[in-house]
Structure 1
Amino acid sequence: MGERANPPDGGNIEPVGLKAALEERYLAYALSTIMHRALPDARDGLKPVHRRILYGMRLLRLDPGTAFRKCAKIVGDVMGSFHPHGNQAIYDALVRLAQDFAQRYPLVDGQGNFGNIDGDNAAAERYTEARMTDVARLMLDGIDEDAVDFRPNYDGTTEEPAVMPAAFPNLLANGSTGIAVGMATSIPPHNAAELIEAALHLIDHPDATTDTLLTFVKGPDFPTGGVIIDPPSVIADAYATGRGGFRLRARWHKEETGRGSYVVVVTEIPYSIPKSRLVEKIADLLNEKKLPLLADVRDESAEDVRLVLEPRTRTVDAELMMASLFKLTELETRFPLNMNVLVGGQVPKIVSLGEALREWLDHRREVLVRRSRFRLGQIEHRLEVLGGYLVAYLNLDEVIRIIREEDEPKPVLMATFELTDVQAEAILNMRLRSLRKLEEFEIRKEHDGLTEEKAGIEALLASDVKQWKTIAWQLKEVHRQFGPDTEIGRRRTGFGESAAHDADAVSEALVEREPITVVVSQKGWIRALKGHVADLSGLGFKSDDALKIAFFAETTSKLLVFATNGRFYTLDASRLPGGRGHGEPLRLSIDLEQEGDVVDVFPYQGGRRLLVVAKEGRGFVVPEDEVLGTTRKGKQVLGVDAQEACAVVPAAGDTVAVIGENRKLLLFPLSQVPEMVRGRGVRLQRYKDGALSDIKVFTLADGLTWTDTSARTWTVTDLAEWQGDRATAGRLPPKGFPRNNRFG
């Protein structure tokens, strides 16, 4: 065992609260992530890693049209000079900038395997090569002319740009996604030509509303195409607030294959969905019999996407089949919009469409002013030099004599001809071969040209109107390059409406239609046996449980559960547990309180009328379509207080037969019971004490039928002595009526 390490004596030990230290350090980490990693700058739409890649490529002179260079060289230079975060992170970002299915306007022109829409990775950086695209050149245009601020790199050995000049609306054109600490960003790609048209309108009308700008920018324009199915109001709201989302669907069409049969061909899939994963998911759903309308899926893609979907039969409705696929697969996705960007490179803020364009335009103006001032400085320097050259030309022999004979010719030249330091330096640095070019005419011509240019720049810097006019001209040049009539500028994503299908038809299209037998036990356990099983004598139950209800249905059926709390719950038969075990408690599927119990379970048929009754003898008729619930909480129909709901029967007939626990039978016309959607109902039979035992609706002309405990059926047609009005007491039932007071 070594000695225990003790702190050195006399050292300054400063106690720091753990909470304060953690807060301070975590805040520093959060700010670093927000500022230097995850959120794009509103001005150039780039994150630091992308900006550094482009600048590194600029230093390597990888302009469009030049020779490609190995990506390993680019990544190494960027990592060594600007981005000390591991080569894989840099290479992944570089690859994404080159993928035409990930970037609407790629910034990198790649040669080699840069991955594909199936989700396969790019080859290693030593095998791939890259150079910049025209878009990247526009992003860097003017960077050597003091257009933007530079800051020291991570080790202070060189400098890197804080933002790009960005002559291209990259933030919205290519979009951006990122997750920082406590905030995220998600901006879809857009059409550059539309963005520029909106920006030109914004120059002329600075107070333009989002709705006005949306006449130019219709919505996102994804590199992989697809169809946006949101209504214009939803799109407008998203762009006005900077938050929202877009529902994006695959583009498809029918292809006739002869003899009345067809296939559906998907030619464009939603953005950022790997095609192989999509096909895999559809195949899995086919195997699980979740897509009964679909027979087969094939991927016949080559350069273009081509997914072939074969319907089960030629009579299948293509729209309905696609609706079921859109519901279950990533053929329909939602792309979130969260325009959270760094405004001024400093402040994270959620911006609207207009604010995003405004940030870019203001940046373009700043770039224009800085480039103009830089050019002005160059012109002034050149004019000064030309003035010196003119003096040298007019006094050439004297200048040569001074240079030959004087030990320090510079101060003598300056004193003799009243030259500035710059002029004297320029004359001394002139090569002998340049003397033949030294002609007064040429010097004066260049001087006049530069003087004119200088006047133009000074006028530009003095006038806001001229500045915006110049910016508009620059934008129109970019628009010409990426206009709707160019291959890259043509809009790819369309707009449409989701076809309105009956919800039942779609849900049926998701389930294979098969017969089942639903079994509910007395303790409330439910299961579905395959097929229509008539003999249930062999069914097993838990030791203290037994059969309560059993009926035939189909996997596409909806089941209605009526509980003692007066609520109706709706279940999908396709989601019931199988019949191999004891099933599952109904309470797993519905929110039924502990003291509540199931009164009845039956298949929903639609269009019927139901009579619902409480123990105390109150009840009313409710249309079956009104009791369908969409949530686990169900739908409150019968209001119950101290008593609980005890029966629900189809209201098919003209007469109600009700028998109480006091063994009194009463018959009265069904027309005396009101039809309601919800409520407490009206009294059906009066009791001194006791409650309702059973109820039935029947047709009086057919007689009253019941089944006794020995399973014999009795029918009585002479019922005059039991007939009366609703809410009376009734009389003892006919001979042969079961002792359990049930109609059976």
Structure 2
Amino acid sequence: MDPNSESSVIDTPFDAALSERYLVYALSTITARSLPDVRDGLKPVHRRLLWAMRLLRLDPAGAYKKSARVVGDVIGKYHPHGDQSVYDAMVRLAQDFALRYPLVDGQGNFGNIDGDNAAAYRYTEAKLTPVAMALMAGIDEGAVDFRPTYNGEEEEPEVFPGLFPNLLANGASGIAVGMATSIPPHNVSELIEAAIKLIEEPKTDDRDILQIVKGPDFPTGGKLVDDPQTIERAYVSGRGSFRLRATVEKVAEKGGGWHLLVTEIPYGVQKSKLIEQIAELIGEKKLPILADVRDESADDLRIILEPRARTVDAALLEESLYRLTDLEVRFPLNLNVLDENRTPVVMSLKEALSAWLKFQIEVLVRKSQVRIGKIDDRLELLDGFLIAFLNLDRVIEIIRTEDEPKPVLMTEFSLSDRQAEAILNMRLRSLRRLEEMEIGREREKLAKEREELVKLVAEFPRQRRRLKKDLEALKQQFGDYRRTRIEEVAATREIDWSAMIEKEPITVILSQRGWIRAMRGHVALDDAETLKFREGDALDTIFHAQTTDRLALFAANGRVYTLGGDKLPGGRGFGEPVRLSIDLDAEVDIVELMVIRADTKLLIASSDGKGFLTSGEATLAETRKGKQLVNLRSGARVAVVRQVPEGADAVSVVGENRKMLVFPISELPELARGQGVTLQRYRDGGLSDVIAFRLTDGLSWALGGESGRTRTETDLSPWRAARGAAGRMPPIGFPRSNKFD
């Protein structure tokens, strides 16, 4: 078809064309790239790597060959992808800290647990491991189907038939389209014991299997600290996660000192990045009770953690490290695999083991049937040889006298074409008497083997017994001890971070333009006039605090932010814009900054007269974005945030219309977040100020001028009404600013 002609243009909806093409890509990614096969636990790239190495005769007993040779064969014959991606897959198969049972024996730099990359493939060499050979065992015995390679020039196996339970023993991970897989490694001895249990009792449930397979067994060791119920839920559903900790012990030193020694780190954590993470905590003083971290690793892993002082609580330091670093991680479980029909399925532990056992029974039967066929072919030839020996003189005569001896032999002795051809191809030395006896013995042996194989193919109980026997032999060859210990530990407790901060007095200063600083010590608040600010700026808030305090910053848009007293910039200079520490837009005003504690009671009111009570705990926000505390109506803003004094039983509100209202504080709800209720009703304007107080103490306000005197109004009965009323004009002498202080 001419690409320039109009007939080459296909008119189709764009969404249909896009969907069709994306579906093809998605299916290819799922079935031919990212998900392992439940039968051999391999993705196509890993299977092709091992197959290419087998054809290169890179057996465990043989010599190493350059990795470049292997990669070249793989991408040239079987896997038309990038050489670096193929080599990366090969490197992982050789890393004993990545695979519980490595499939490639690497020589040279194949990377390390620090996270260093492997050397280029021209510098490294490789061959197969005994585990890989066990995984491919039987591939020459007709146990599995072969398919053409991508260019049709070669053939590759669809799956490996070997008995080694690679899917669960080595695990797998991958991200496909719309789905992913994450399978941790397990101990092969436990897997084989569980498989034997399933062979003996097929109705065994997941709980019984989990009495044998305790949980993942990572090559880097560590401790699995989840409770048995969590582990069971993950394995039964096929989805979940495991809490994995490093192995940490307290080591006593001479003189009463001590340090923490890390000898195993969680699976998948790079040692160098872990040490950088801990060093960053020390440098930024996020963990003041930790003084130093040292890497003393050689062939074994040794990370030394020095406390700030010998009086530091070792358990607290350890718990803090688990919370703040990758000394504790979560490893996901998503047992998503391709089943025998190459369909992605999330399986439970029992389903995965059962699917693998079913495949192994099929392999056993298929190998037996192929072997029976080969025995039949051999017996046919041996029967022909025996006929020839019994009629040796006549056979020789026919060969010597006939121009075409083959049809004559076939007719006279009722031989098949293959038998006649084999007799004619016999060497003279084979005509000796000893050869005839050896043929008889071979025939007898093969007949007996055939009889046993026929029974094996026909009887399922024999197949189960044979598989059980083979599994026990496999366990003897590859079984080892568990590396990851199962130790149920409670979740890391909430840590009082203030206990780790050196308590020092500070004076917090916030300017009108939002510049914040903390001066050392408690500066006299009366000396605030001596403070310096940037041109055009002035003091907004000043108060005393401690470095261990947490400060709450309330913004006009209803959000609240938390600042640590120890994190504030120093008092030298003008400080720093507080907006550098939190995500607060420049156009949003700061309403209040105060020391906050969990038991603090707050009264919050918005400009439209809505308000509520809240606790200090509800205002604490752990991120730069803060948290939304007040849900504001359109056009409204947060106007007042005040602490509620202990024993306060009344609330007084004054509006911009200069009307005041007093009502019981019990009429206000306490919310963690919300809009609140109406405090005062307005026709024009909005709320000016609000305060909580003791009714018996009355309301006090400062008188004008330099006298410093205050006035107290104790008889507030004229202004007392139900919440939401309009109120009346305030007492004589109330500040013209409409503020209570």
On whether the aligned pair clears a TM of 0.5, the verdict is: yes
Establish whether residue 497 from structure 1 lines up as the match of residue 486 from structure 2: no
Asked if structure 2 preserves the Cα contact closer than 8 Å seen for 1:526 and 1:576, the reply is no
Asked if structure 2 preserves the Cα contact closer than 8 Å seen for 1:243 and 1:338, the reply is yes
Aligned letter for 2:516? R
Establish whether residue 571 from structure 1 lines up as the match of residue 565 from structure 2: no
Residue in 2 that maps onto 1:170: 166
Aligned letter for 1:572? L
Residue in 1 that maps onto 2:213: 217
Q: Distance in 2 between matches of 1:110 and 1:56?
A: 15
Residue in 2 that maps onto 1:195: 191
Which range is displaced more, 208-217 or 21-30? 21-30
Summarize deviations over 1:596-649 as a string: whole Å, max 9, x none.
976543212344555667899998876655665678444469999999774523
Which range is displaced more, 221-230 or 608-617? 608-617
Superposed, which structure 2 residues align to 1:553-702 within 5 Å?
553-561=545-553, 569=560, 571-573=562-564, 578=569, 580=574, 583-584=577-578, 589=583, 600-609=592-601, 624-625=616-617, 628=620, 632-635=626-629, 646=640, 648-652=642-646, 677-678=670-671, 695=691, 697=693
Task: State the Cα distance separating 1:361 from its structure 2 match.
Answer: 1.6
Residue in 1 that maps onto 2:520: 531
Q: Distance in 2 between matches of 1:162 and 1:591?
A: 59
SS of equivalent residue, structure 2 residue 274: helix
Change in 2 beyond 3 A, CA 1:426/1:731: closer
Summarize deviations over 1:527-572 as a string: whole Å, max 9, x none.
34353455444343684x653322233454223356779x783513
Residue in 1 that maps onto 2:441: 445
Q: Distance in 1 between matches of 2:477 and 2:554?
A: 67
Residue in 2 that maps onto 1:362: 358
Task: State the Cα distance separating 1:712 from its structure 2 match.
Answer: 4.9
Task: State the Cα distance separating 1:431 from its structure 2 match.
Answer: 2.5
Establish whether residue 31 from structure 1 lines up as the match of residue 27 from structure 2: yes
Task: State the Cα distance separating 1:311 from its structure 2 match.
Answer: 1.3
SS of equivalent residue, structure 2 residue 540: strand
Unaligned runs of 5+ in 2: none
Unaligned runs of 5+ in 1: 1-6
Summarize deviations over 1:429-461 as a string: whole Å, max 9, x none.
322333336455544433333222212211111
Establish whether residue 402 from structure 1 lines up as the match of residue 393 from structure 2: no
Asked if structure 1 preserves the Cα contact closer than 8 Å seen for 2:561 and 2:582, the reply is no
Asked if structure 2 preserves the Cα contact closer than 8 Å seen for 1:654 and 1:700, the reply is no
Change in 2 beyond 3 A, CA 1:174/1:24: same
Summarize deviations over 1:371-416 as a string: whole Å, max 9, x none.
0001101111222222122222222222223233332222222222
Residue in 2 that maps onto 1:336: 332
Residue in 1 that maps onto 2:268: 272
Q: Distance in 2 between matches of 1:348 and 1:57?
A: 28
Task: State the Cα distance separating 1:494 from its structure 2 match.
Answer: 3.7
Normalization by structure 1: what TM-score?
A: 0.83
Residue in 1 that maps onto 2:540: 548
Q: Distance in 1 between matches of 2:362 and 2:701?
A: 92
Aligned letter for 1:677? E
RMSD over aligned Cα, in angstroms? 4.3
Asked if structure 1 preserves the Cα contact closer than 8 Å seen for 2:185 and 2:217, the reply is yes
Aligned letter for 2:597? Q
Q: Distance in 1 between matches of 2:547 and 2:373?
A: 81
SS of equivalent residue, structure 1 residue 42: coil
Change in 2 beyond 3 A, CA 1:627/1:99: closer
Residue in 1 that maps onto 2:93: 97
Aligned letter for 1:490? R
Residue in 1 that maps onto 2:310: 314
Asked if structure 2 preserves the Cα contact closer than 8 Å seen for 1:147 and 1:371, the reply is yes
SS of equivalent residue, structure 1 residue 119: coil
Summarize deviations over 1:189-246 as a string: whole Å, max 9, x none.
1222222223233334444443343332222221112223334333333333333333
Residue in 1 that maps onto 2:8: 14
Q: Distance in 1 between matches of 2:335 and 2:637?
A: 56
Aligned letter for 2:147? R
Residue in 2 that maps onto 1:465: 461
Aligned letter for 2:276? E
Residue in 1 that maps onto 2:381: 385
Aligned letter for 1:527? I
Q: Distance in 2 between matches of 1:9 and 1:443?
A: 69
Q: Distance in 2 between matches of 1:680 and 1:345?
A: 57
Summarize deviations over 1:497-549 as a string: whole Å, max 9, x none.
2554234x14764x6766554444557x3634353455444343684x65332
Which residue of 291, 294, 300 corresponds with 1:298? 294
Q: Distance in 1 between matches of 2:637 and 2:133?
A: 80
Residue in 1 that maps onto 2:145: 149
Residue in 1 that maps onto 2:319: 323
Q: Distance in 2 between matches of 1:732 and 1:87?
A: 84
Aligned letter for 1:573? G
Summarize deviations over 1:52-108 as a string: whole Å, max 9, x none.
221222223332233333333333333443234354333322222111011110011
Indicate the percent of aligned positions where both proteins have the same amino acid: 50
Aligned letter for 2:484? R
Which residue of 86, 105, 116 corresponds with 1:120? 116
Q: Distance in 2 between matches of 1:508 and 1:251?
A: 25
Superposed, which structure 2 residues align to 1:408-447 within 5 Å?
408-436=404-432, 438=434, 441-447=437-443
Superposed, which structure 2 residues align to 1:41-52 within 5 Å?
41-52=37-48
Establish whether residue 88 from structure 1 lines up as the match of residue 84 from structure 2: yes
Change in 2 beyond 3 A, CA 1:121/1:709: same
SS of equivalent residue, structure 1 residue 259: helix
Asked if structure 2 preserves the Cα contact closer than 8 Å seen for 1:561 and 1:600, the reply is yes
Aligned letter for 1:248? L
Change in 2 beyond 3 A, CA 1:694/1:27: closer
Aligned letter for 2:562? L
Which residue of 54, 61, 76 corresponds with 2:72? 76
Normalization by structure 2: what TM-score?
A: 0.83
SS of equivalent residue, structure 1 residue 255: strand
Task: State the Cα distance separating 1:143 from its structure 2 match.
Answer: 0.5
